[in-house]
Amino acid sequence: MLSNTMNFEVATALLPPVTAVLLFLYFSYKRNQFHDSLPNEPSAHLFPHAEEHQEPKRDLFYDYYCWVSRASLFPLSMRILLIGFSESLYNILYYRWQRRSKPEDCIRALAAQHLERRQAEGKIKRPFAIVTGGNAGIGYEIARALLFADYHVILACRSQRLAQSAITRLQATTGSDKVEYMNLDLSLFANVREFAGRVAERLKAGGEIDVLIHNAGIMNLPFGLTADGFDTQLQVNALAPHLLTQLLLPHLARSAHILFTTSAVIYATNHIDLSMFTDRARHSGLGNYAAGKACTMVLTREWNRRLTYHPGAVHTNLFNNTPPFHLSLFSSLLTLVLLSPPEGAITALKLVLAELDTEHRGGKYWFNELPRRTPSVSMGAGIRPEEVKQDIVGEWLWREAGRMCGLKEEE
C-alpha cells in the first residue's frame, strides 16, 4: 500500500515537467511550420531571441502561454508549474546559452553608455533612484548598476542590518558612496506612508525621483492577513507598490521611469476575484501569488507612461517558501536552469538605462528583454476574459485598490 502511494506521488511530481517538455516540443514543431510558411528573407524569420523591435504578436511563446491560461482542464497550480518549467527550458535553450555577452559585461556597458549619453546632453545633476528590496537578488544588482551609472540610490528595505551589509558591498564594488538606506515595510500601509514622507523630506532641498523600481516581493506564503486586513502577498506585491507610487507622484520627474515587477504566472490565471484573498478555505500560496501579480498587471495598465516587467525565472530568495526548492539538491538544480540575479536584472536595466523609444516601452510587459502581450482577465463569475473590456477591468481594480489602500481623493 505504501509503495502504491509513493508511486502515485512520484507520478504526480513528474507530470508537470513531462507535460511541459511535450508541449514545448509541440510548439517548437509549430514554430518550425511557421518558419517554413514565411518568405525566404532573413528579416521575416522568427528568431529564438530576436532584437528588441520584434513585434510581440509574432512571439509564439506567448501563444503557448495563452494556451496554458485557457487550459481549464488543469488546476491553477498545475498551470503555474507548466509555465515555470517552460521558462526553465527557455532559459537553458535560448536565453542563457545563446547570449553573446556575459551579464556583467552587459550591465557595465549599459551603465557606461547611459553615463556618456547624460554627459553628452549636458545633464550634470545626479539622478535619483529608489529600489525596493535593493539589499539582495535582482534589486541589489539593479542598485549596483545604477551606482555605476552615477545615480544616487535609496535602498528601500525592511531590515536595516541587511541593507547596511548591502551598502558596504555596493560601496566596495562600485566605488560610489551615493547609496543610502530607508526603512520600508510593504506589509504595513502606515509604514509606506511614513516612507513616502521621509522621501519628501529628503527631497526638500531640491531634486526629483528619476527612477522608481518596485522590486520587493514575496511568493507562496501560507494564509495570513496583514495588520491592514489583507492577504500578505496581495498587499506586498500589488497594493503597497500602488499606494507608494501614488504618494510619490508629486516628487517624480516628468521623465521618470517606474517599473512594476510581475511574473509569467499572470498567464496562469485569467480571473480576478478579490474575495479569494481573505478566504482561508480557498487559499493557495501559488494561486494567490499569481492572482496578485495579475492585479499588478492590470493596475500597471492604468498608469500612463509606466512600465511592467518580468525579469525571467530567476533564482532568488523568492523560492525559499516553495518546497522542495529550499532543499540543497533542488537549490543546485535551480542554479542550473534559472537565471542568476545579474541576468535577471538586465531587462529592468535596459528599460531604465538604454536609449529606447518611450512610446514603444511604456505600459508594456517586458520579459527577457522583449515586450510581450498581456493576457485578458475578467472580474465577474461566469464571464470569459475576452468578453470583458480590459479598460473596465482596469478602472474597477483601480477604484478597489485605492479603497483598500485608504487613498483619499486628493492623493
137, 157, 229 from 187: Cα distances, Å: 20, 12, 10
C-alpha cell of residue 159: 531590515
Residue by residue, DSSP assigns 294-345 as HHHHHHHHTSTT-EEEE--SB-SGGGGGSTTTTSHHHHHHHHHHSB-HHHHH
Residues forming a β-bridge with 129: 153, 211
Residue by residue, DSSP assigns 132-195 as ETTTSHHHHHHHHHHHHTT-EEEEEES-HHHHHHHHHHHHHHH----EEEEE--TT-HHHHHHH
C-alpha cell of residue 167: 551598502
Active-site entry in 90, 140, 289, 309: 289
C-alpha cell of residue 79: 498551470
289 catalytically annotated: yes
- The answer to whether residues 320 and 141 touch, using CB atoms and an 8 Å cutoff, is no
**Calpha distance 113→130 (Å, rounded):** 21
R_g of the chain, CA atoms, integer Å = 21
C-alpha cell of residue 151: 545615480
C-alpha cell of residue 305: 507612461
Residues in contact with 376: Cβ distance below 8 Å, sequence separation at least 6, in sequence order: 270, 385, 386, 388, 390
Backbone angles phi, psi at 307, to 5 degrees: -125, 145
**How many other C-beta atoms lie within 10 A of the C-beta of residue 23?**
18
Closest to 276 (Cα-Cα) out of 379, 374, 206: 379
User: Which residues are catalytically annotated?
Assistant: 289
